[in-house]
Amino acid sequence: MDITATSTKPFRVGLLLVDGFALMSYSAAIEPLRAANLLAGKTLYEIEQVPVVGAQSVSSSGAIIKASAHVGERVDFDLILVVAGGDPARFSDERIYQWLRHLARRGVLIGGVSGGPVILAQSGIMAGRRMTVHWEHAPALAEYAPMLALERTIYVIDRDRLTCAGGTAALDMMHALITTHHGADFARRVSDWFVHTEIRPSGGPQRAGPVERYGTASLPVLRAIELMENHIADPLGLEQLAQLTGLGARQLNRLFREKLGRSTMGFFRDLRLEKADNLLSQSTLNITEIALAAGFANSAHFSHSYRQRFGRPPSASRQ
């Protein structure tokens, strides 16, 4: 499923809750969707609570969340979010793994929150995808699956996979999702509802803020860059970027040239190539997988663009 897809029907989200999940992670994922419905005055998001087994899930603090759907039911989910805490590496349930693989084959968006990405990796659906996980679980996951493109960031959206570090990072990830569905202005209203005024980009606290990184305080430009960073592997077109930032395509292009000295799509291409350059040096993905993760249709197109940008072939950077 295309993460940008919208329709007149509500977007159906299922939260697969693994007993011992943290309430903060759960709330940070679900509350922005509830607020979006409230602010829109209609149901934009339908939310189902899905326990791993039985009729309820129990959080790490003992809070009980009753089931509204169950694993394997014929529910047309658009997104499943696995929320886990504790020690997710000890989780082992082939029934859950099979269900996640089934949903992945159907093209359902699948995400993980806090320890949830560990379970996604265990199910075998994160191959060739960039991902992140809570820092507590990162060393064990890297040892368990060294082939994964694991990033130490607050959240990562890579095509049909969404992963975040948990806690308040889920607020930032859901802001990105709502922005893609309903535009930056509406997403900002949702974030303001929670006094969440300092929205962090997917790169997270390991990087300077976008104003410092790019030397501009232009809100439309920064909003467009945020969208770009969340769509590295499935690039949005100029018209889509303009629509989601509330501008016309020509106006957005003019702003990029004025503030950053490059066209909108030229900047986006360079951003994707920089991500690819990082993957070449810090991951074990092959060239074709890196090309796809950076939003290029094939390795030949990627190699040509990479050589133009950096003056060397991708293979030279890997060596």
Query: For the whole model, what pTM was predicted?
Result: 0.76
Instruction: Count other C-beta atoms under 10 Å from residue 206's C-beta.
Output: 9
| Per-residue pLDDT at 113 | 95
Q: What amino acid occupies position 146?
A: P
Instruction: Count other C-beta atoms under 10 Å from residue 215's C-beta.
Output: 9
* CATH number, domain 208-319, options 3.30.70.2740, 3.40.50.720, 3.40.50.1980, 1.10.10.60: 1.10.10.60
Shared fold status for 11-175 and 208-319? no
| Class of domain 11-175 (CATH, top level) | alpha beta
| Per-residue pLDDT at 3 | 57
| Per-residue pLDDT at 65 | 94
Low-confidence ranges of the chain (pLDDT < 70): 1-7, 201, 203-212, 319
Instruction: Count other C-beta atoms under 10 Å from residue 186's C-beta.
Output: 18
| Per-residue pLDDT at 109 | 96
Task: Locate 248 and state its tokens.
Answer: 């016309």
Pairing type for strands 11-17 and 64-66 reads unpaired
| Per-residue pLDDT at 242 | 93
Among 205, 131, 221, residue whose Cα is nearest residue 172: 205
Cα 144 to Cα 147: distance, rounded to the nearest angstrom: 9
Residues in CB range of 58: below 8 A, 6 or more apart: 19, 20, 64, 65
Map out the domains of the chain as residue ranges. 11-175, 208-319
| Per-residue pLDDT at 283 | 75
| Per-residue pLDDT at 6 | 53
Angle between helices 219-229 and 264-282 (to 10 degrees): 40
Q: What is the pLDDT of residues 75-125, one digit of tens each?
A: 789 999 999 988 888 899 999 999 999 999 999 999 999 999 999 999 999
Q: Which helix (H) or strand (E) holds 97?
A: helix 94-105
